[in-house]
Chain A
């Protein structure tokens, strides 16, 4: 009887383990990276509170000077409502983009309003503190930073060898937000 080739078995076993290590490593690494992207997304959600606060504060001033049914005020109120809701982060991100536009428009209306011009404190809010807070909160909630991180992850997933292995085992792309 011919002797069993143990050396061949050992080499095959070694190759099998190397392949398994490559696949497991690729999936684990990819999962860690995706968790980082998702964690950043979660943090973005918490930073949205500054946008909600800014929107509410703008509405507080606007209510003193504009009629109740004012269209821009209603638009800002809708954005604030959407941002503070439990809606998906994609929906809240859209509301955040919309808030930027509507809040700027409302600030411009308030700045031109006679009653605001007659009230030095509210004028200071409209021309100083509120735009400053809007800028600051926009900077804090910059969706571009998240998109860059998610894009970089997707790029690695699609264009690297370990990314290919991870995709073969079901790893998916991270969500990107477009305004």
Chain B
């Protein structure tokens, strides 16, 4: 019994570890287009850990299928602003299917590396393999160049060997392809659900009081204001009293909007 309990606890601990590691890599690399090697993603997570510790900078990568007509640069800017700490972030957006990409730099990140330098790195290391659809190769080359540039600017050593690690890793959880398709999938889904809920509510309409509810109100009012059985005297509730009483009681029970 004790062994079984320990085994269960160990399994739970391992599962928690796996899920937290996946969550950590998803925070750094959002591969919604599912085009990157898992080992490269781990390498970028490792590099990000170093930049966070040594330079107080975070690296982020987003891959998506298409942008639905939006500009890659504006999407990158919007995405950067959506992070809680945008000033410390270097974000690369790779738009698969449109062969476009953009880097957005937070304010603090620009103190270490300028947009021009990043654009040069993209042109020299990233562009050709990216257009040849070697997305992992393009990203690994760009990250290496970027790390080198950050190292020169800060004087802090950054290891990039993990970017080229060929260790077999379990594949990442394959995302729903539609998630990588719409520009803001969560918002689109939210809008769709709201539309659905609103049409359902509008279809139901305001149902008003049922006969049972009216009968119940009548019974309560009769008990409250009807003739006193012991004394035989009326409790003095005229037509207006009944109207206001019904109005108030139906409001009290939430039967009236």
**Residue-by-residue, is A132-146 near B (CB-CB < 8 Å gives 1, otherwise 0)?**
110010011100011
> Is B84 on the interface with A (CB-CB < 8 A)?
no
> Is B208 on the interface with A (CB-CB < 8 A)?
yes
**Max chain A CB contacts within 10 Å: which of B98, B194, B205?**
B205
Say how far B254's CB is from chain A's closest CB, in angstroms: 15
Give the contacting residue for A145; candidates B67, B133, B195, B208; CB below 8 A.
B195
Residue of B nearest to A21 (CB): B243
Contacts of A121 in B (CB 8 A): 97, 133
Write 20 A-B pairs (CB below 8 A) sorted by A numbering.
A10-B239, A14-B239, A18-B243, A21-B243, A40-B202, A44-B195, A47-B195, A49-B188, A52-B69, A53-B67, A53-B182, A53-B183, A80-B69, A121-B133, A140-B191, A149-B199, A149-B200, A149-B202, A149-B203, A152-B203
Q: Are B202's CB and A52's CB within 8 A?
A: no
Which residues of B approach A to under 8 Å, CB–CB? 65-69, 97-98, 133, 177-178, 181-183, 188, 191-192, 194-196, 198-206, 208, 238-240, 243, 247, 257
Contacts of A54 in B (CB 8 A): 68, 181
Find residues 13-31 in chain A having any chain B CB closer than 8 Å to their own CB: 13-14, 17-18, 21, 29
Contacts of B68 in A (CB 8 A): 49, 52-54, 56-57
Residue of B nearest to A56 (CB): B69
Contacts of B69 in A (CB 8 A): 52-53, 56-57, 80
Residue of A nearest to B242 (CB): A14
Interface size class of A (residues with CB under 8 A): 35 or more
Contacts of A17 in B (CB 8 A): 240, 243
Contacts of A162 in B (CB 8 A): 208
> Is A66 on the interface with B (CB-CB < 8 A)?
no
Say how far B31's CB is from chain A's closest CB, in angstroms: 15
Contacts of A18 in B (CB 8 A): 243
> Is A60 on the interface with B (CB-CB < 8 A)?
yes
A46-B66 contact in complex given A14-B243, A60-B98, C-beta closer than 8 Å: no
Smallest CB-CB A-B distances: 7 pairs: A53-B68, A56-B69, A140-B192, A149-B202, A43-B195, A40-B198, A36-B202
Say how far A51's CB is from chain B's closest CB, in angstroms: 10
Say how far A119's CB is from chain B's closest CB, in angstroms: 10
Cα–Cα distance between A60 and B66 once the two chains are bound (Å):
8
Residue of B nearest to A121 (CB): B133
> Is A169 on the interface with B (CB-CB < 8 A)?
no
Residue of A nearest to B189 (CB): A140
Contacts A18-B243, A43-B195, A125-B65 given; 18 further ones with Cβ under 8 A? Answer: A11-B239, A14-B240, A17-B243, A33-B202, A36-B205, A40-B198, A43-B191, A53-B68, A53-B69, A54-B68, A57-B69, A133-B178, A136-B178, A140-B191, A140-B195, A148-B203, A152-B203, A156-B205
> Is A69 on the interface with B (CB-CB < 8 A)?
no
Say how far B214's CB is from chain A's closest CB, in angstroms: 14
Q: Are B177's CB and A10's CB within 8 A?
A: no
Contacts of A44 in B (CB 8 A): 195
